[in-house]
Amino acid sequence: MFTKILIANRGEIACRVIASARKMGIKTVAVYSDADKEARHVQLADEAVHIGAAPSRESYLLADKIIAACKATGAQAVHPGYGFLSENEAFAKRVEEEGIVFIGPKHYSIAAMGDKIASKKLAGQAGVNCIPGHNAAIGTAEQAVGIAQGIGYPVMIKASAGGGGKGLRVAFNDKEAFEGFTSCSNEARNSFGDDRVFIEKFVEEPRHIEIQVLGDAHGNVIYLNERECSIQRRHQKVIEEAPSPFITEATRKAMGEQAVLLAKAVSYQSAGTVEFVVGKDQSFYFLEMNTRLQVEHPVTECITGLDLVELMIRVAAGEPLPVAQKDVQRNGWAIECRINAEDPFRNFLPSTGRLVRFQPPAQTMQQGDTQALYGVRVDTGVQDGGEIPMYYDSMIAKLIVHGKDRKEAIGKMREALNGFVIRGISSNIPFQAALLAHPKFVAGDFNTGFIAENYGKGFAAEDVPHADPDFLIALAAFVRRKSRERAAGLSGQLPGYGVQVGKDYCVIVLQADGKHRYSPVHVDEFIGESGSALVKTGVGSYKICSTSRLNDVRITGTVNGLAFTAQIERGSAKNPLALRVQHNGTQIDALVVSPRMAELHRLMPHKMPPDMSRYVLSPMPGLLVDVAVQPGQKVQAGERVAVIEAMKMENVLFAAADGVVGKVLASKGESLTVDQAIVEFV
């Protein structure tokens, strides 16, 4: 067994590998860029080596620097994590040639599965179901149309070297096939330097279901059940679960056995994933094989009780698999939500910056610990006060829950999301809460088009309807009453001028347009019951009990006998005196005042926000990589004005109307904040 390994990655996956290595008594070496010198993975590792500038092409993608770091620290093996160099055949081969062990499959296995066209042919030869299609590179758009007609619409046009949703189009007719071929070729050439394109049948109402496989150097290969990954936005997974609520036992067995056949065909040694597209009739077809650890591996760890990172390390060290197929378990139900630094209310634009507050929910499951299950686990590479850099992907954390069944797992996940405190940047937690509450998700009735069908026009606050909106009002009144009680108990108050607690209040739910909601409430304290009160609103009464402190952002307790977790903080963008209440993805800003104050508040004129239509504003924090206009220039509506880059995404800003540029307020290379003015029109 190794005594020291280097992790050629960053963020949560680097921390995940460190956890298993530490459990096994193996020392770890982290590598880091300029942007990550204070990062959590650097602090957790036994040693850390600086490998370059912030952009990944100048640090985490430099094989020479990583190999040099191995030699300098005496690391005997490299774990590549996922992303970066994890599926780079040349890197795996080079590491082996340098006498260092690559904790992953052999380079020839990576090569065999890395080319989409070659892997399809190999899968077919191994006896794996493949989608009807034309797997040779296609020369012209006209040829593409002819092939599409032969297969039968709809068809999917894909770049051979594609990934991450790039170089992919669905065509339902000849015109779309012609245009899709041209677009895919261009995108693939620009993104991957390889313009080969192939065409296959598009499976309607498809599910994305993948099989986890594990092989060793002794010819043993097993499958560890499946993961359901159909909840995707723009081909990026959002929620993953294991097992799938859709497939039958017979389909599971058939998919697993075919995945093993493919892994054996390429002499696969390590953890890997065979991805399938599954039709509504349970027909399944090979999609691709990921020759690395997957982001969503924790859900498999929960239901099988196996530590996949530990098994990868043991296999790389030459040990045989400690489990046979008959020993693989499937216990309970696990769900993972990817918590990303993005603003769901601004079309999921990246959100970078400092984590002013980062308090994940209480963990009862730990990475690498396969004994303590049926709880909550958080895999993250950040910490309170840390920075979310603009140079890497947007994932802040992975929230994983394990329940006895799917219903219990969904309930645990909703409560865990309620208790996940992130401040300073925006996150997709409200969107995750909406997905988990959607009746079709709860029923297990969804496919890969679920998000596009239900949130095709974007995501808005109205898309998170609360099952009991008056509970949020009651909670605001409860917290305000508690603060009044505390103020009344302070000593030294002048007789006759002391704070009066009172029982009648009005909760004013603030709206951006000034059409505020006024809700009278009555609050009675329970005699002898500390931290409890009965709050009566217009439509219901709520017995709330909580021992959380007034300065806690996260408040826990019971309401009418049922447990709840919510978030409450003082001050909001709408009003510094308001309480911001969040629960189940819904957020309100509320003033809790006396009835007389509410009467006066109704008379206050609404102050309209300033007119910013003359400005081009940055929709997200990021790097201004280009300003395409200059003062005095005439600009037409739809014309390119500026380009902002953040988290591997480029966002082009266009003029909303015709005009003349007055001032350019930001310069190329500047780091921008949200809503910072870039250009002013006259």
Report residue 372 as tokens.
């303590």
Amino acid at 115: D
C-alpha dist (Å) from residue 579 to 283, 355, 473, 568: 52, 21, 10, 7
**Type and span of the H or E element at 507:** strand 504-509
Helix axes 297-304, 308-316, angle to 10 degrees: 100
> Out of 187, 240, 288, 296, which one is annotated catalytic?
288
CA gap 619, 642 in Å, rounded: 11
Are the beta carbons of 290 and 135 closer than 8 angstroms?
no
CA gap 399, 392 in Å, rounded: 19
**Type and span of the H or E element at 18:** helix 11-23
- 649 forms beta bridges with 646
Bond prior to 154 in cis (omega within 30° of 0):
yes
- 288 catalytic? Reply is yes
Report residue 144 as tokens.
């593409």
Q: Counting runs of H as helices and runs of E as strands, what totals does the chain give?
A: 17, 39
C-alpha dist (Å) from residue 136 to 4, 13, 197, 199, 529: 44, 36, 8, 9, 74
Report residue 374 as tokens.
């049926």
Cβ neighbourhood burial of 175 (10 Å; 0-12, 13-18, 19+): exposed
Which runs of E-coded beta strand occur in 243-318? 270-278, 284-290
SS3 string of 432-484? HHHHHHCHHHHHCCCCCCHHHHHCCCCCCHHHCCCCCHHHHHHHHHHHHHHHH
Strands 207-215 and 221-233: antiparallel
- By annotation, the residues acting in catalysis are 288
